């Protein structure tokens, strides 16, 4: 059995700058494994140990994904090995095309379960798990707190409004792990050094049958600044007047 965790090696938007034309300059942003993906690795690690399975990291990205730093950064989180598509051609791919490639990597890894983080740090759309499941033809569950082996399938605990619910699923499945599903262990120096010895297979874009989905960006611009009324309320009735004004505008 193989458990796969899809991770993203992405730039932190806190280090990015917005240009005057509204486009984003990522040149000074440092890349690392996306913040929520280590949580998925922790949940995947528990599942793999309970099932006696191998934990494989799968990812799609540019050439920096196959750098020594990127490999160590990912493998030190607790993965057994990696299977990645590292090609500059992927930098122009949209989410649907990347998801199709991740699905192909999951098949190559012979994964029976695919886990993802809640969302990526750079885009934060939160649709990758559903897209990957669609290409694999597997069911998908989001906001998953835990997943454990059960007879012929898995027991999934999913966060819902006001609490959790427990589901029993048979067959292969894709799950998106909740952000607080498990505490993340900070890799030690021993983990980082050991990560450099873990096998990471790198494939090129032409070795994977990615879906021919294309998106063209036709323009970028900053949102228009809203006009402010600049109304100031003073005196003993200031609070009541402010509340009345907010209610009249539909804010309260």
What is the domain-level CATH number for residue 196?
A: 3.40.50.620
pLDDT of residue 224: 79
Note the pLDDT of residue 116. 97
Q: Two tokens at 6?
A: 């899809």
- How many independent structural domains does the chain possess? 1
pLDDT of residue 181: 93
Quote the pLDDT of residue 221.
Answer: 78
Three-class DSSP category at 71: helix
251 in a structural domain: no
Tens-digit pLDDT string for the chain (252 aa): 899 999 999 888 888 888 888 788 878 888 899 989 999 999 999 999 999 999 999 999 999 999 999 999 999 999 999 999 999 999 889 999 999 999 999 999 999 999 999 988 888 788 999 999 999 999 999 999 999 999 889 999 999 988 999 999 999 999 999 999 999 988 999 999 999 999 999 998 888 888 888 888 788 777 777 788 788 899 999 999 999 999 998 888
In a domain, 242, yes or no: no
| Residue 218 included in any domain | no
Domain that holds residue 167: 1-205
CA-atom Rg of the chain in angstroms: 22
Q: What is the pTM of this model?
A: 0.81
In a domain? residue 124 = yes
Residue 217, in any domain of the structure: no
In a domain, residue 176? The reply is yes
* Domain-embedded: residue 233: no
DSSP 177-245: EPTTSSPPPPPPHHHHHHHTTS-EEEE-GGGS-------------PPPPPP-------STTHHHHHHHH
Quick one: which H or E segment has residue 173? Answer: strand 173-177
Task: Examine residue 56 and state whether it is found in any structural domain, yes or no.
Answer: yes
């Amino acid at each position: 059995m193989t458990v796969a965790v899809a991770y993203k090696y992405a730039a932190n938007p806190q280090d990015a700058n917005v240009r005057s034309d509204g486009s984003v300059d990522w040149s000074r942003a440092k890349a690392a494994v996306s913040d929520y993906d280590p949580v998925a690795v922790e949940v995947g690690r528990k599942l793999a140990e309970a099932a006696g399975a191998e934990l494989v990291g799968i990812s799609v990205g540019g050439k920096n994904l196959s750098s020594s730093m990127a490999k160590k950064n990912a493998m030190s989180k607790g993965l057994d090995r990696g299977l990645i598509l590292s090609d500059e051609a992927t930098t122009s791919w949209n989410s649907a095309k990347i998801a199709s490639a991740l699905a192909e990597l999951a098949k190559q890894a012979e994964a029976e379960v695919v886990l993802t983080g809640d969302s990526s740090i750079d885009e934060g759309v939160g649709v990758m798990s559903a897209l990957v499941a669609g290409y694999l033809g597997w069911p998908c569950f989001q906001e998953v707190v835990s997943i454990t082996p059960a007879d012929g399938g898995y027991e999934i605990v999913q966060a819902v409004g006001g609490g959790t619910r427990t589901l029993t699923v048979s067959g292969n499945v894709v799950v998106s792990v909740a952000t607080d599903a498990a505490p993340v262990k900070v890799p030690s120096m021993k983990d980082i050094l050991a990560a450099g010895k873990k096998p990471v297979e790198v494939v090129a874009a032409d070795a994977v049958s990615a879906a021919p989905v294309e998106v063209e960006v036709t323009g970028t611009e900053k949102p228009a600044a809203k006009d402010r009324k600049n109304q100031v309320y003073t005196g003993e009735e200031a609070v009541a007047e402010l509340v009345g004004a907010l209610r009249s505008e539909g804010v309260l």
